[in-house]
Every structure is written in C-alpha cells, then in structure tokens.
Amino acid sequence: MRSDFLNKNSSLTGTYVKKVKKITENYTVTEADSGTIFLVHPTATTELDMPTVADLPSGWNCEVWVTEDTDGSDGGMGQIVNIDFGSATDVVGHIASVADAAGDTAVNNDDYINFTAAASPGDNVQIFTDGNRWYVRGIAAALGSDTLFHTAAAS
C-alpha cells in the first residue's frame, strides 16, 4: 500500500525540507503557513497576527524564532516581537527559561506572546491547534519579563 507519510515506502522519503520564512515586519499568518518556521528579525516593533483558530484544521502548526541574523547574545534582540492570537482566544501552554527555574504559563485573557527588546536571539515558541484552542511550548534564554504570555502587545 502506498503512503504519503514519510517512511521507507514513501516517494517523499529523503526530500522532506521544512518551510522557513524570514519576517522583518508585521505579518498576517495564514492557513497555508501551516508547518512554517518563522525567523523574525524585526527592524521595528513587529507583530505576527495568527489566523482565527476556528478556521483552522486540527494539527495546524508553526514555530516562531526571534533572531538578529547573528550569533545570539543574551538580551540582544533590540526590537519587540508580538504574536497576536486574537481577542478572547483560549491559549494553553508554557514558556520555559534556560536561565531561571521559573517560566511563564498562559492564563485567562492572555491573547499575546511578547518577545521584548531584551529577549535573546534563539528564543522560540512552537504553536499548534486542535481547531478549538491554541497550544504553545516555548523556550527562552532568560524569562523575567523578556519572553512571556500577556494580555496586550508590548510597545
């Protein structure tokens, strides 16, 4: 039986490449962006607007990595990146910190993830949906107030 999944019988074996999109300014994420890794190198405060979760199929996913297109330095972003999930959207997840024992957990009314100008290149989040809510898993060099869930965009 032929399968389109990646296995030894698949015609796709050995040709799988992840989709990568470099972002330098505000961007509206679409359904077609499922599976994309966004490398966000902001030239000014930048916002990624996520699609309406109810319009997406279960399994839709992406990753967002902040970068300065250079080797990372702790606290070296220099610009703000906001991810907007939409008003009154249910977000479930955690952002862990490499440097701190504590992380951040999404709570009611957290419609954003903020990477402040003090965030570190390489801080990232993985995002997916079941078609009803967003799920997030992230990692940050240092948490504090640098990379966290929030009720509003950072400015």
Give pLDDT, residue 66.
Answer: 95
Give pLDDT, residue 60.
Answer: 98
Give pLDDT, residue 6.
Answer: 56
Give pLDDT, residue 137.
Answer: 97
Give pLDDT, residue 28.
Answer: 98
Hey, where are the domains in the chain?
Answer: 20-150
Cα(81)–Cα(39) distance, rounded to whole angstroms? 11
Selection from 55, 115, 52 nearest residue 80 by Cα = 115
pTM for the model: 0.87
Exposure pattern of 5-28 as b/e (b: 16+ CB <10 Å)?
eeeeeeeeeeeeeeeeeebeeeee
**Beta-carbon-side half-sphere exposure of residue 125 (alpha carbons within 13 Å):** 28
Selection from 40, 147, 38 nearest residue 96 by Cα = 147
Selection from 77, 59, 46 nearest residue 140 by Cα = 77
Q: Residues 95, 126, 108, CA angle at the centre, nearest 5°?
A: 50
Give pLDDT, residue 65.
Answer: 96
**Low-confidence spans in the chain with pLDDT less than 50:** 1
